[in-house]
Structure 1
Amino acid sequence: MATVYREILIEADPEGIWAAIRDWGEVHHNLAPEFVADTQVEGDVRVVTFADGTVVHELIVSLDDDLRRIAYSVVGGSMAVSHHNASMQVFAEAGGRSRFVWVTDVQPHSLAEPIAAMVDQGIRVIRRTLEAAAPTS
């Protein structure tokens, strides 16, 4: 199994970031609009269509407001994974900034590089989107 771990600072309040992440059926609007083309919710599964046409069915495993953390697992779609589990979490940092952590465990190991490339692209869009939406002081 491979782990893709990314951590970035975002110039935005953690509560605002968490609100965008927590609204898990609106990823294509509030979190990563250039990266995700559409999100549909079917019970506790969200069907995510990425801009490149990849479709994944993600089971929401945990949504924790106290920890500002969401965990999800790919359970279907066009990506051939035998195991996928990911989490996104937001931590408060000094000066009204936030630390955003995205961890993905995936198998087979051969998917580590393609998943890492997707995460890298997604995290750039997420940062840009959230910083643009943050109130200026």
Structure 2
Amino acid sequence: MSRRPTVARFSLSASARQHIDAIMATARDQIEAVLQREVSRLIADAHDGANQKAAHHRPAKQEVMATPAVPQPIYIRPGKAQQMFGVHRATLYRWANAGHITIHKRGAATFVRLDEVRAFIEGNQP
């Protein structure tokens, strides 16, 4: 008959649990940032692929006019806006409630447009 190894049982202190929670929150934020970049890249790749496919199926005699590239808006998380502009997240929500900027939701994630926040801070928006 073989013996089963014993498992040491211990409890974590409150400060150790807080430290682990902080590490986990940082890891979640980093994973979310990577996922956001990858999703943006995949969407851009899909958009480029659709444009190439559409260009491939155009009649040969049709002349294609060059159109200037329209810059895509950049969406950032309220925490990132707080870091970039030194504005508290709650202030961003107050501005949104007042109609100065728009809050965008994608599932549980919240985003604001970088150009809207910058324009409001610089006074270029009513």
- Taking structure 1 as the reference length, the TM-score comes to 0.22
- Report which of the two has the higher share of strand: 1
User: TM-score, structure 2 length as denominator?
Assistant: 0.23
More helix by share: 2
Q: Which has the larger radius of gyration?
A: 2
Q: Which has the higher contact order (CA 8 A, sep 6+)?
A: 1
